């Protein structure tokens, strides 16, 4: 996970991060629709929908888009019916890969994901093969310029925050998954802008990749999976040796 995080930072610095607004909105709309379908269209009684809407607002999605996504999810407007699926597998060096997917065609999606993994030395596994290696947590990201750390701790620590760390100019607030909404609302009530607030899968341990070719293959797998239209989130437990990471970043 930390290797993935470092690589994402490098990509941003090199201007290679995915900034396609349409793709980001598509993923957010799918999440809103699924949340509304499974828990109802009222965000007050649907924590998953509240979190999805908060993510959409953080991405500056127009309110009309959010409303349409909710109505499609509740069936009040016609639209494609998506279903939530998780896929698990392995990358080079035995790295664990856990995917959250939303698709309207399982057969197509699983075939494409299997192809990506096998092309770069990975393989698709059975359900549950790597899920046990991750813990479901809430993560809120706040820009360090928006608030000082002491004030942030005062707001969040009694609302379920487990830890607050600093990385790449941002505070990362870790919570239990069930406490994410309380912590997010506490920040909203104080008018503290958030970069993101989401439930995520945190790896219990990491696998260090020390060979350059395996590191390159692993990063290609992550990039291709993140670019896939049906893949909502990609979780891994890899780390990359610093010397290898520097070589890859220089290429």
What is the domain partition of the chain in residue ranges?
A: 2-74, 84-132+204-250, 134-203
CB of 73 closer than 8 Å to CB of 32: yes
| HSE (side-chain half, CA atoms, 13 Å) at 140 | 32
For the domain made up of 84-132+204-250, give the CATH fold. Alpha-Beta Plaits (3.30.70)
Range 134-203: architecture per CATH: 2-Layer Sandwich (3.30)
pLDDT of 3 reads 42
Q: How far is CA 7 from the centre of its chain?
A: 15
**Of residues 164 and 23, which shows the higher confidence score?**
164
DSSP code, position 228? S
pTM, two decimal places: 0.77
Residue 228 CA to residue 14 CA, distance in Å, equals: 21
Sheet strand arrangement including 161-167: 161-167, 170-176, 134-143, 196-203
Per the structure block, which two tokens stand in for 112? 């494409």
* pLDDT band of 248, cuts 50, 70, 90: confident
pLDDT of 21 reads 67
């Amino acid at each position: 996970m930390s290797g993935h995080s470092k690589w994402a930072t490098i990509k941003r610095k090199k201007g290679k991060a995915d900034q396609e607004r349409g793709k980001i909105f598509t993923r957010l709309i799918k999440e809103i629709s699924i949340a509304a379908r499974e828990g109802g269209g009222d965000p007050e009684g649907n924590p998953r929908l509240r979190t999805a809407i908060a993510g959409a607002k953080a991405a500056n999605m127009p309110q009309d888009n959010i409303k349409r996504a909710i109505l499609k999810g509740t069936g009040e407007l016609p639209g494609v019916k998506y279903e939530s699926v998780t896929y698990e597998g392995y990358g080079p060096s035995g790295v664990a890969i856990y995917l959250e997917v939303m698709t309207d065609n399982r057969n197509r999606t699983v075939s494409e994901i299997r192809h990506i993994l096998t092309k770069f030395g990975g393989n698709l596994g059975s359900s549950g093969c790597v899920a046990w290696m991750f813990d479901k947590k809430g993560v809120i990201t706040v820009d360090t310029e928006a608030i000082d750390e002491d004030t942030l701790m005062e707001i969040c620590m009694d609302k379920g925050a487990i830890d607050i760390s600093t990385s790449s100019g941002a505070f990362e607030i870790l919570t239990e998954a069930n406490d994410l909404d309380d912590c997010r609302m506490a920040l909203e009530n104080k008018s503290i802008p958030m970069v993101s607030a989401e439930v995520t899968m945190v790896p219990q341990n990491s696998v260090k990749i020390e060979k350059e070719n395996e590191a390159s293959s692993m990063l290609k797998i992550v990039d291709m999976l993140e670019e896939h239209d049906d893949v909502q989130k990609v979780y891994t437990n890899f780390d990359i040796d610093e010397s290898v990471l520097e070589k890859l970043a220089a290429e």
